[in-house]
Every structure is written in structure tokens, then in C-alpha cells.
Amino acid sequence: METPEQIKSRLEAALPSAKIEIIANECPAGERSLLVDAPSAFAAAQFLRDDEQLRLDYCSNVTGVDWPDKELTEKVKVKQVVEGVEKEVEEVKKTVRPGFLEVVYHLYSMARKHGPVVLRCRTENRTDRTQLPSLTPLWRGAEFQEREVFDLYGVVFTGHPDLRRILMWDEFEGFPMRRDYVAPDDFEYEPTPHDEVLAEAKKHYPAEAKAEAKPEVKA
């Protein structure tokens, strides 16, 4: 199979306006993936599926990743006048990288018997611009998995044939797989709260129920 660099080069030739990067995964396997900008994602995915050399006709896995805002620290050298002498000194520069949501597709070829090629797409932010094009029209197996990413992370897949929650109920608020998600501590939906869950749930009981829940103290 072609290397990520070769695939990237051919993608850029086919889609001149696309922004494509090779991302190294920080894991023992050192797996690398193709990061494609959202406007070009559908066309790039279609190329990967239909290209005769690649024929990536099978999407095995779709996952979501939440990247909250992150403070980045960088050491930079600047010129300063110290005691009348211009010197080059090192300063620490801090910047904030805005958060975003990411969707990762693992693609294989049943026809050519190779893979995976890992395709990544990112939203503009984590709040009001969380749209990405659905790749379900290209790989039908992505349908339920994109729904799961929508349900648990909040990515809105434009063009999805049936975008609705798949694990949580319709009235559920929030996205449980986001890193800043705070689970409710009353657990009204849990029929038999126990241990720590029960202790947290009791904080929300009415005063009468709290009194009844107190253990009887024997003299």
C-alpha cells in the first residue's frame, strides 16, 4: 500500500484547494493519519474510496475525540537591552489553542486487501461550529457510528440520513464523552442507586425523605 506521504501527494493533486496534514499518533505503534479540512473532507474520502490504487471500500471504525482549550508554552528568543547592552534572552510565551472536536475514520480495502488508512476531520470549535460532513453516503457502515459520535460528543454530521441519539434518550442534555462533562449526582434515572451514588442522590431528597433515610441510633 502507498505511504501516507504518497496518498497525501495524490490527494493534493486531485483536490488543489484541500488542506491536508500528516498527523503522528503518539502511541507505540506510531500510526500516522491524514488530517483533512472539513470543507474538503467528503471529496477527499470519496477519492480514497474510488481511487483504483486504494479502493478503500470498507470503513471499520468511526471514533470521536474531544480536544478542549489548551495552554501552549513556547520558549522564544528576543532581543533586550540589559545594562545598556543589547542581548538575546529567552522568554516563555504562552498561548491558548482553542478547543475542537475530532472524528477519526479507519478505512480498509476489501478489494485490494490493505489498510488501514486513518482519516481525521476537525470541527471549528466545541460550541456553535461543530458541523462536519457525514461520510455515511460513502460508507453505509458509518451510519450508526456517526450517530454515536453525535450523541456522545456533539458533532453534527451534515448530510447524515438519520442523525439522532443512539445511546442516550432524546431529552438527555450534554455530551457524556466530552472531557469537561459533569455527570449529574442525583441520578433520577437510576432505579436502584447504591453506595456513593446513593449518598449523592440523598443530597437531593426532600427534607422528610432525608429524615426517613437517617439510620436509627440505638442508645
Specify the CATH number for the domain of residue 135. 3.30.460.80
Same domain as 159, residue 56 = yes
Rounded Cα gap, residues 87 and 105, in angstroms = 50
- CA nearest neighbour of 150 among 138, 170, 165: 165
Per-residue pLDDT at 31: 86
Examine residue 33 and state whether it is found in any structural domain, yes or no. Answer: yes
Residue with cell 456533539: 154
pTM for the model: 0.81
**Model confidence over 123-151: pLDDT tens digits?**
999 999 999 999 999 999 999 999 999 99
How far is residue 97's CA from residue 127's CA, in Å, rounded to a whole number? 15
Both 207 and 117 in one domain: the answer is no
Tens of pLDDT along 72-85? 888 888 887 777 77
111 and 219 in a common domain: no
Note whether residue 87 is domain-resident: no
- 193 pLDDT exceeds 70? no
Mean pLDDT, residues 28-52 taken together: 94
Residue scoring higher pLDDT (199 or 186): 199
Domain contains 90? no
- What pLDDT band is residue 30 in, cutting at 50, 70 and 90? confident
Residue 6: predicted pLDDT: 97
Together in a domain, 125 and 217: no
Q: What is the mean pLDDT of residues 162-183?
A: 93
Confidence label for 26 from pLDDT (cuts 50, 70 and 90): confident
Q: Is there a single domain that holds both residue 192 and residue 166?
A: no
Domain check: are 201 and 144 in the same one? no
Nearest by Cα to 102 from 140, 43, 62 = 62
Closest listed residue to residue 119, CA positions, set 52, 29, 22: 22
In-domain check, residue 93: no
- Kindly state whether residue 95 falls inside one of the protein's structural domains: no
Residue spans of beta strands (DSSP E) within 30-84: 32-36, 58-67, 70-82
Q: Which residues contact 214 (CB under 8 A, 6 or more apart)?
A: none
Same-domain check for residues 62 and 137: yes
Question: What pLDDT digit, counting tens, does each position of 74-114 carry?
Answer: 888 888 777 777 778 788 888 999 999 999 999 999 999 99
Residue 72 maps to a domain: no
Kindly give the residue spans of alpha helices, DSSP state H, lying in the chain: 4-14, 38-50, 143-153, 195-202, 207-213
Q: Looking at the domain assignment, is residue 27 inside a domain?
A: yes
The answer as to whether 30 is a domain residue is yes
Q: Which residues contact 199 (CB under 8 A, 6 or more apart)?
A: none
Distances 35 to 5, 11, 23, 168 between C-alpha atoms, Å: 12, 12, 7, 29
Window from 48-52, 124-128, 159-163, 204-208 with minimum mean pLDDT? 204-208
Do 56 and 19 sit in the same domain of this protein? yes
Q: Domain of residue 206: give its range.
A: 183-219
One domain, residues 128 and 190: no
Structural domain total, the chain? 2
35 and 119, same domain (yes or no): yes
Do 139 and 54 have their domain in common? yes
| Last residue of one domain, picked from the residues 137, 154, 173 | 173
In this structure, what C-alpha cell is assigned to residue 74? Answer: 513556547
Among residues of the chain, what percentage have pLDDT more than 70? Answer: 89
Claim to verify: residue 189 and residue 219 sit in the same structural domain: yes
Tell me which DSSP letter residue 142 carries. G
**pLDDT > 70? residue 152:** yes
